[in-house]
Structure formats: C-alpha cells, structure tokens
C-alpha cells in the first residue's frame, strides 16, 4: 500500500464469521482517510461493531499501533459509535481514522496544564468539541482534567475565557463528572455575569452554566423521590450532580451586589441570544426558587422591573426567536401570582407584611378611632369588615395586600382624599375601598385563570397581565367611579362587582394586539349607563350563577383536572409516535446543494415509556413502524431539550408535491407547522414539520408539558381543549345541582374556630 497522501487502496472488513470475500466482488461503502493522509475505499458491514471495524482497518492497513488507540470520525468530527454506524454506512459518509477519544483526552489535559497561550485556545476549542463524548469525558475526568479547566476559568479573560466556559457548559450536559464544583466556582461565574464589561460570547456560556446549576437540585434528580416528612432537600447518592440547586446559586448571587440587576438589564441587549440566555436564567430561577428564599428573590425581581423589561422585549423586533421564553416567563409569573394569592397576610410574623400595612395606613392619613362599643377601629375605616387583617386578606393573600399598597402609594394624596370622601358619607353609602380592592384581585385572577401553579394555557403574549398592579389600580378606580355614579349603597356591592367584571372582560380583550392607552381609556372614560346597558345584554345571554364564588372555585378545580387530562393525552401521542418531514432551519442560507432532494426526507419519532428519550429513524420513504424501539436506532435525550421553538424551519423545496400529507410552504419561508428542539446553547437537536395542525399541537405541547418546569402551551388547539373540557365538566355538575334544585350561595361564611385542638378527624367511608 502506498504511503503518499494521494494514494488510494481497497480494504475490506469481514463479517462476524471471519470470512473475507474476494476484493473483486466487494462494493465499497465508505472511504476512510488515515492520520497519514492515506485514503482507502472500504466495505463496512453494518452488522459489525465499531471496534471490529477499526480492528479490521488496522489489520488491512498494517498499522503498528493497537486498534484501541484509534477511533472513527466523520468529516464534521462526529464520533462514529455503535448507535450511528449503520447511519454512516447508509449515507456513504467519508470517515477518518484518528486518535481515540482517550488519547485525545490525555493530550488535552497535558496541554491545559502547560498554560501555553499560543496553544491554549486551540486546546479549549478541541475540548468543547469532544467533551460530550463519553470515552473522552471519562478519560478527561480520570486524569483530573476538570481541575485544570477550572483553573483556566479562574484566571482567564476574553475569548480564552469564552472557550473555557463553553467547554464547561458542554461538560455539564453529562449527568456525571461535575459533582465536586465548589462555591468558589459558582461565585466566579456569578462575578463574570455581574460585570457589565463581560463580552457577550463570555456571558452566554456563563449564563447557561448558572442555569444548569440552578436546575441540578436534589428534587430534579431522575427517578422517583423518596417520601419524607422533612422540609430539607432529599439526600443524593455520592457522585450525583444533583446537589446544587437554587439555594446554592442564590447564596453566591447575594454576595455579588448588582448581579441580578445586570442580568435583568441584559434583557434590553441588542443581541438576541443574550436576551434569550438571560431570560432562560430568570425562568430557571423562578421555577426552582425554594420556600426559604422565594419571597426575597421575587421581591428583588419586582424591584428591578423585570416585568417592564419583558414587556419591552415583547414589542421588539426580535420576538420571533424569544416567543417560547416569553411564554415560559408568563407561566412562571402566573405561578408567582398564584403563590402570592395563596400566602396568608401575617403582620405579626412577617416584617414585610407589617411594613406594607403601615405604608397603606400612612397613605390614608387617618387616625385610629374608637367605635360605639369602645373598640379601636383602623382597618374598618378603610372598608374592611373587621380589624382581623389575616382574615380580611384570606382570599386575596399578600397579592391583595401588595395591590392595595400599590394603589395607596402610587398617588397618596388622591388615596387620602378618596378615603376621607367615603368617610364623609353615611355609613350605608360608603364604598368599602379595601374590600373592593380584594374583589378586584379576585376578578383579575378569574380573568387570567390564575388557578394553580403549572396550569397556564396562554398561547399569546399577555402584557396587561404583566402589568397586574396597574390594571388593578385602573379597575379599582373604575369600581369607585361606578359606585358613585350609580348611587350605590352597601347592599349594592355585588351589583357593582358585576359591572366591574363586565368591564374587565371588555378592557382586557385581545391584549396581545391592543395598546395600553386603550385599556386606560376603557376603564377611565366608560360611562355608567353604557356599561350598565352592555351588562344587561350580557345577562340576557348568560346566567349570573357563574359569578358566584363556589362556581368559580369549582371551575378552577375542573380546569386543573382538564389540563392534566389533556397533558396525559398529549404524552400518549408522543408514546405512539408519528412521521414528520425533516426540515431546513429557515435562518440558514439555502445553497444549491441544499436545494437537491434530501436523501432521507422523513423521520419517525417516538417517546420511550420512561419519558427520557425521543427515539427516531430517518428514511427515504414512510414505512410501517413496529411497536417498541427496534426500528428506531437513534435517540434524543429529553433532558437536553430546553425549548420547543415553533415556526422555525421550512420544508425541503423539492419534496414531491403529490404528497398530500406534506404541509404546503415555499422553499424559503418557515412553515407554520414546523418546530425545532433546541438545547441550552441554542443549537437544534431536531427540525421537523408536522403533517397537520393536530399533530403539531400534540407534539409541541406534549414536549413542553414533559419539561420539569412545566413549560407552556404553544397551540390554541390545546388551550381550546382545556377550556372545552372545563366548560363541559361544569355543565354536567350544574345539571346535577339544578336537577335537585340546590341553591348555590354567593359565598360561604366560616364558623368560629374551635375552643381547643384536642380532637382528631375520624376516617370516613362511603
């Protein structure tokens, strides 16, 4: 065999029985280039393992080094493994016989330890490329390469630091090997992110690393969690990377003043990817915040006006790339709002609650008085029914408290005059401002379906929801104006609530396309008579039964059940599997080569029963796929999917037009039925086009619902199913009640607490 770089030769690989066929009868499947530049044509049997193929190549090429020192890679340097060997053979991919990952790892660790600036960047570039390979990673970690990499991160700057962080980010895609990262490393990453001078290509991997650490908490560990009555995190086995989490990261964030402020400020960056990474980090922190730090963290975010920053992003020109993250943020803020609503106001135990109440009272400019029975009255002057603040905020929680505080402090003079004006009226004519404020919270919670964490079905932007406090203030002012213009008395409170509910629906309609000034106009300029006439027409078409509190609670319960039902249905569709078109990312330039008909335009995907992997096969034609995973040689790790982006890719232009199940689209425009499975670094694991709208909704929402943080619903179809099931369930329940002529009260009055707690609940049986 010639040794010059242009020499070509034939090499054969034997089958499992060791017999070799005559060279004249062999049809080469692949060309293989050695480290010396020698290219040979080889027939590789798909039944062989990669080790067997390498062994035969070494034998036929008469290489002196043992086969264990070699590996096969394709032209993109992807490692050939037993999982993808058949795919490489079918595609007749050009292969390279190169150093094994173990040898590469030894070389990389040695070069990292030298700290030679001339070769360090090249070494880090190789590291970030190969670190995801198990054989390379194991050797790299075994030779203490992680310590060398951490040392580089601790002292590097600029592009060298960017390469090192990207290598670390890729290493953390593995589920092992980084369980011994200490607080100094976390603090170093926090410092990098908190510096406004940090380069964008440095901030991207740093943000992804911090996000990964937040999500690596014990509760996120794969497998079932052990039941425990303790509030402390579950114990993790030695070597598990699930030992960090929100508390570990937030503790270091608190040490670096201004870190969170810098992250929020980057939402205004001109770089879309920087906005994307910052948003993903904020979402991750919101999803994993623990009880101990939850209020501190969310309050700090609110002070930094993160909602306002996201609203600006909604209206920017880059929203196409950020839609999924924005919807995730909305879902997280639904969770935050719900939790605030369910958190009791306890001024005796919580300083922040007492401070908010003090602020409200100060804005009123009132003095505490004694009632006719000689009892002090303060909160009753503002419109509460008693002086028991915890009881008065029992339904609205601290959400109601902070809404009333915002209303009072946004214009203290106006608030004070408003309170004094009501107190100047006869008692039966006064509008109970504080009670009305809590009722507005209930109306807005009902409008935005704030029923429970993890059950958001909004598929469009909700900028008005993110302005919850301002909408509350507008609606409360509207309530007070309707009270005055209608000459309402104490018994008319439910009537004014009904008027306000009607106006909320009108003012907040189509919030993804309407401007904020239109909302202000609807609340501030609408006249009582017009609102009343419209409401009367609405009452002719619907029963006011739905406005009663028990019905709202029942609706919330059925909504959660419907969401869970649809979630299971979507996941079942993933378990059954489906055919898709292999698409082209619309952002990539279309070359002449791309315009040729793809060799395998179809992909069948199926979720495994463990809900951990998407198994798939690419094919030239669709064929009947058997149950199970035997026909699906390749797979995608669900844990690697951080976003399901929609409308991202186009169909190959030369697909057969008579394929009726192909969605029509032009070669260059993205299909409305396309979706991409993206990783934390923004790269795509899969670009597909669904055959129809139903399949698109099943898979995009099903994959989103698989995410540990709950994700968001992407399709109107899924949102519509949840609503329809809720409505049907509600009607069935109502048929049971109305058939038995059961009267539904407007509310339930809690009885007095027991005189002692010396009792227990007995078991109840049907």
Note whether 449 and 308 are same-domain residues. no
Q: Max CA-CA distance within the chain?
A: 113
Per-residue confidence (pLDDT) for residue 702, from 0 to 100: 87
CA distance 239 to 224: 18
Show which of 52, 84, 99 is a domain's final residue: 99
Buried b / exposed e over 226-246, threshold 16 CB at 10 Å, is eeeeeeebeebeeeebbbbbb
Q: What is the CATH number for 74?
A: 3.10.20.90
What average pLDDT does range 506-521 have in this prediction?
92
Domain membership of residue 232 (yes or no) is: no
357 and 455 housed in the same domain: yes
User: How much is the pLDDT for 227?
Assistant: 44
Q: Sorting pLDDT into bands at 50, 70 and 90, what band is 105?
A: very high
Share of the chain above pLDDT 70, in %: 82
Angle, in degrees to the nearest 10, between helices 433-447 and 468-485: 120
| 661 and 520 fall within a common domain | no
Which range is least confidently modeled, 61-65, 144-148, 160-164, 282-286?
61-65
38 or 665, which is more confident: 38
In a domain, residue 336? The reply is no
Does residue 460 share a domain with residue 514? yes
pLDDT band at 320 (very low <50, low <70, confident <90, very high): low
**pLDDT, mean of residues 83-90:** 88
Residue 224 burial (10 A CB sphere; 0-12, 13-18, 19+):
exposed
Please compute the mean of the pLDDT values over residues 98-118 and round it to a whole number.
90
Q: What is the CATH number of the domain that holds 267?
A: 1.25.10.10
Weakest mean pLDDT among 148-157, 351-360, 713-722: 713-722
510 within domain boundaries: yes
Alpha helices, H only, 156-271? 158-171, 183-194, 200-215, 246-255, 259-265
DSSP-assigned letter for residue 663: P
Q: Which long-range contacts (CB under 8 A, 24 or more apart) does 68-77 make?
A: 68/100, 68/102, 69/99, 69/100, 69/103, 70/97, 70/98, 70/99, 70/100, 71/97, 71/98, 71/99, 71/100, 71/101, 71/135, 72/32, 72/96, 72/97, 72/98, 73/98, 77/129, 77/130
362 and 271 in a common domain: no
Distance CA 644, CA 599 (A): 26
pLDDT band at 237 (very low <50, low <70, confident <90, very high): confident
- Over the stretch 262-313, which tens digit does the pLDDT of each residue have? 999 999 988 888 898 899 999 999 989 998 899 899 999 999 999 999 999 9
Strands 39-43, 8-12: pairing kind: parallel
Residue 465 lies in a domain: yes
State the pLDDT at residue 766: 43
> Which pLDDT band, with edges at 50, 70 and 90, does 228 fall under?
very low
Domain match, 417 and 272 both: no
Sequence-distant (6+) residues with CB within 8 A of 467 are 307, 311, 516
Whether residues 511 and 414 fall in one domain: yes
Q: What is the pLDDT of residue 315?
A: 83
Neighbouring residues of 392: CB distance < 8 A, sequence distance ≥ 6? 379, 384, 385, 386, 434, 435, 438
Helix pair angle (200-215, 158-171), 10° resolution: 30
186 vs 209: CA distance, rounded Å: 9
Q: What is the pLDDT of residues 589-619, one digit of tens each?
A: 444 344 445 668 899 999 998 888 899 998 8
Residue with tokens 């990207």: 166
* pLDDT higher than threshold 80 for residue 399: yes
Please tell me the least confidently modeled range out of 287-296, 420-429, 507-516, 745-754.
745-754
pLDDT at 15: 43
- Residue 542's CB: how many other CB atoms inside 10 A? 9
pLDDT at residue 88 greater than cutoff 50: yes
pLDDT of residue 356: 95
User: Does 519 share its domain with 649?
Assistant: no
Q: Across residues 71-96, what is the average pLDDT?
A: 90
**In degrees, to the nearest 5, what angle opens at C-alpha 119 toward C-alphas 117 and 121?**
80
766: exposed, middle or buried (C-beta count within 10 Å: 0-12, 13-18, 19+)? exposed
- Give me the sign of the Cα torsion angle 651, 656, 661, 663: positive
Assess whether pLDDT exceeds 60 at residue 454: no
Please state, in angstroms and rounded to a whole number, the distance separating the CA atoms of residues 70 and 54. Answer: 7
Range with the lowest mean pLDDT among 97-101, 288-292, 453-457?
Answer: 453-457
**3-state SS record for 278-331:** HHHHHHHHHHHCCHHHHHHHHHHHHHCCHHHHHHHHHCCCCHHHHHHHHHHHHH
Q: Say how many C-beta atoms besides its own lie within 10 A of residue 528's C-beta.
A: 15
Q: How many residues are recorded in the chain?
A: 766
Domain range for 432 is 351-367+377-542
Is the same domain home to 415 and 520? yes
CB atoms within 10 A of CB 197: 6
Backbone φ and ψ for 673, nearest 5 degrees, come out as -100, 15
- Model confidence at 352, pLDDT cuts 50, 70, 90, reads very high
3-state secondary structure at position 197: coil
Q: Give the pLDDT of residue 301.
A: 94
pLDDT higher than 80, residue 247 = yes
Q: Are 572 and 609 in contact (CB under 8 A)?
A: no
At 38-64, the pLDDT tens digits run: 999 999 998 899 999 999 999 988 888
478 in a domain, yes or no?
Answer: yes
pLDDT of residue 389: 95
When divided into structural domains, the chain yields a total of 4
pLDDT value at 753 more than 80: no
Q: What 3-state class would DSSP assign to 470? A: helix
The candidate with the shortest Cα–Cα distance to 345, out of 359, 356, 337, is: 356
How far is the C-alpha of 633 from the C-alpha of 609, rounded, in Å? 16
Tell me what pLDDT residue 714 has: 62
Question: At 613, is the secondary structure helix, strand, or coil?
Answer: strand
Residue where the block lists tokens 């499947």: 29
Residue 657: pLDDT band with limits 50, 70, 90: very low
List the one residue out of 440, 434, 456 whose CA is nearest residue 504.
440
CA 192, 195, 200, 206: dihedral to nearest 10 degrees? 20
Residue 453 has pLDDT above 80, yes or no: no
Cα separation values, 190 from 20, 185, 213, 252, 259, Å: 60, 9, 11, 7, 7
Residue-wise burial string across 443-473, b where 16 or more C-beta atoms lie within 10 A, e elsewhere: bbbbbbbbbbbbbbbbbebbbbbbbbbbbbb
Based on the fold, state whether residues 524 and 565 are members of the same structural domain.
Answer: no
User: Among 31-35, 127-131, 302-306, 726-730, where is mean pLDDT lowest?
Assistant: 726-730
Same domain, 588 and 670: yes
Q: Is residue 757 helix, strand or coil?
A: coil
> Does pLDDT of 637 surpass 90?
no
Please report the pLDDT score of residue 630 as a whole number: 84
Based on C-alpha coordinates, what's the Rg of the chain? 32
HSE of 185, CA atoms in CB hemisphere, 13 A: 21
Question: Cα(337)–Cα(328) distance, rounded to whole angstroms?
Answer: 14
Last residue of a domain, one of 53, 68, 99: 99
Q: Do residues 428 and 281 share a domain?
A: no
40 forms beta bridges with 9, 32
Q: What is the CATH number of the domain that holds 598?
A: 2.30.29.30
Alpha-carbon distance of 436 to 404, in angstroms, equals 10
Return the SS3 of 697: helix
Q: Within a domain: residue 197?
A: yes
Q: Does the residue 133 lie in any domain?
A: no
> What's the average model confidence in pLDDT over 372-386?
87
- Give 416-462 as a DSSP string: HHHHHHHHTS-GGG---HHHHHHHHHHHHHHHTT--STT-----S--
Q: Could you tell me what percent of the chain has a pLDDT over 90? A: 46
For 551-564, how does the pLDDT look when each residue is reduced to its tens digit (9 = 90+)? Answer: 667 777 777 788 88
Statement: residue 660 has pLDDT above 50:
no
CB neighbour list of residue 472: distance below 8 Å, 6 or more residues apart: 403, 406, 407, 437, 440, 441, 444
Confidence of residue 460 (pLDDT cuts 50, 70, 90): confident
Question: What CA–CA distance (Å, rounded) separates 437 from 718?
Answer: 33
Using CA atoms, how far apart are residues 452 and 81, in angstroms rounded to an integer? 45
Question: Which of 515, 542, 569 corresponds to the end of one domain?
Answer: 542
Confidence of residue 392 (pLDDT cuts 50, 70, 90): very high
Q: Which residue has the tokens 């292999």?
A: 582
* Secondary structure (H, E, C), 43-83: ECCCCCCHHHHHHHHHHHHCCCCCHHHEEEEECCCCECCCC
How much of the chain is in helix, strand and coil states, percent to nearest 5? Answer: 55, 10, 40
Q: Is residue 112 part of a domain?
A: no
**Interatomic CA distance for residues 190 and 488, integer angstroms:** 56
């Amino acid at each position: 065999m010639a040794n010059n770089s242009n020499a070509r030769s034939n090499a054969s690989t034997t089958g499992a029985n060791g017999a070799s066929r005559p060279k004249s009868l062999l049809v080469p499947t692949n060309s293989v280039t050695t480290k010396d530049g020698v290219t040979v044509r080889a027939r590789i049997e798909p039944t062989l393992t990669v080790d067997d193929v390498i062994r035969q190549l070494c034998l036929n090429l008469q290489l002196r080094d043992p086969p264990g020192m070699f590996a096969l890679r394709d032209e993109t340097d992807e490692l050939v493994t037993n999982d993808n060997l058949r795919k490489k053979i079918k595609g007749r991919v050009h292969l390279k016989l190169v150093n094994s990952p173990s040898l590469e790892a030894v070389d990389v660790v040695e070069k990292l330890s030298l700290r030679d600036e001339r070769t360090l960047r090249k070494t880090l570039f190789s590291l970030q490329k190969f670190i995801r390979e198990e054989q390379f990673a194991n050797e790299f970690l075994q030779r203490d390469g992680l310590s060398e990499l951490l040392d580089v991160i601790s002292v590097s700057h600029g592009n060298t630091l960017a390469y090192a962080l990207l290598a670390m980010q890729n290493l953390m895609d593995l589920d092992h090997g980084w369980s011994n990262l200490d607080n100094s490393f976390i603090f170093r990453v926090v410092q990098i992110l908190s510096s406004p001078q940090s380069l964008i290509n440095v901030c991207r991997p740093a943000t992804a690393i911090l996000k990964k650490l937040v999500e690596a908490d014990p509760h996120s560990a794969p497998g079932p969690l052990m039941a425990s009555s303790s509030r402390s995190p579950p114990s993790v086995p030695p070597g598990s990377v699930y030992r960090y989490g929100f508390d570990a990261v937030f503790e270091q964030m608190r040490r670096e003043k201004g870190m969170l402020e810098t992250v929020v400020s980057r939402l205004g960056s001109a770089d879309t990817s920087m906005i994307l990474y910052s948003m993903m980090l904020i979402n991750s922190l919101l999803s994993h915040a623990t009880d101990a730090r939850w209020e501190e963290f969310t309050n700090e975010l609110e002070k930094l006006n993160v909602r306002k920053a996201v609203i600006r992003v909604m209206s920017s020109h880059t929203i196409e790339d950020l839609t999924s993250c924005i919807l995730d943020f909305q879902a997280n803020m639904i969770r935050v709002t719900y939790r605030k609503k369910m958190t009791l106001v306890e001024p005796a135990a919580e300083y922040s609650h007492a401070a908010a109440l003090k602020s409200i009272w100060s804005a009123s400019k009132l003095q505490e008085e004694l009632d006719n029975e000689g009892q002090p009255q303060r909160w009753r002057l503002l419109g509460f029914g008693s002086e028991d603040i915890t009881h008065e905020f029992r339904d609205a929680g601290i959400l109601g408290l902070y809404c009333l505080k915002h209303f009072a402090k946004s214009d203290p003079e106006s608030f004070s005059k408003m309170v004094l004006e009501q107190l100047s009226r006869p008692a039966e004519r006064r509008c109970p401002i504080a009670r009305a404020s809590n009722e507005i919270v209930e109306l807005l919670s009902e409008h935005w379906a704030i029923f429970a964490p993890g059950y958001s079905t909004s598929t469009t932007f909700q900028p008005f929801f993110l302005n919850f406090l301002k909408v509350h203030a507008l609606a409360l002012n509207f309530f007070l104006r309707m009270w005055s213009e209608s000459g309402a008395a104490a018994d008319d409170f439910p009537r004014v609530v009904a008027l306000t509910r009607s106006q909320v629906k009108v003012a907040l309609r189509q919030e993804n396309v309407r401007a904020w000034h239109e909302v202000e106009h609807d609340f501030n300029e609408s006249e009582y008579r017009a609102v009343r006439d419209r409401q009367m027409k609405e009452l002719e078409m619907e029963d006011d039964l739905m406005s009663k509190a028990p019905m709202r609670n029942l609706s919330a319960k059925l909504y959660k059940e419907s969401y869970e039902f649809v979630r299971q249905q979507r996941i079942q569709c993933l378990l059954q599997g489906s055919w898709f078109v292999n698409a082209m990312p619309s952002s990539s330039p279309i070359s002449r080569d791309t315009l040729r008909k793809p060799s395998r335009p179809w992909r069948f995907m199926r979720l495994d029963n463990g809900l951990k992997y998407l198994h798939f096969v690419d094919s030239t034609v669709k064929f009947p796929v058997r149950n199970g995973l035997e026909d699906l040689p390749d797979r995608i790790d669900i844990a690697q999917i951080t976003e399901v982006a929609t409308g991202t890719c186009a169909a190959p232009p030369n697909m057969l037009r008579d394929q009726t199940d192909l969605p029509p689209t032009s070669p260059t425009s993205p299909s409305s039925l396309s979706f991409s499975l993206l990783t934390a670094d923004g790269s795509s694991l899969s670009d597909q086009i669904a055959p129809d709208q139903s399949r698109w909704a099943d898979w995009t929402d099903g994959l989103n619902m698989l995410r540990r943080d709950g994700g968001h619903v992407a399709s109107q179809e899924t949102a519509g199913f949840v609503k329809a099931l809720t409505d049907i369930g509600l009607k069935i329940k109502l048929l049971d009640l109305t058939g038995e002529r059961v009267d539904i009260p407007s509310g339930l009055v809690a009885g007095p607490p027991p005189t002692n707690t010396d009792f227990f609940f007995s078991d109840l049986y049907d």
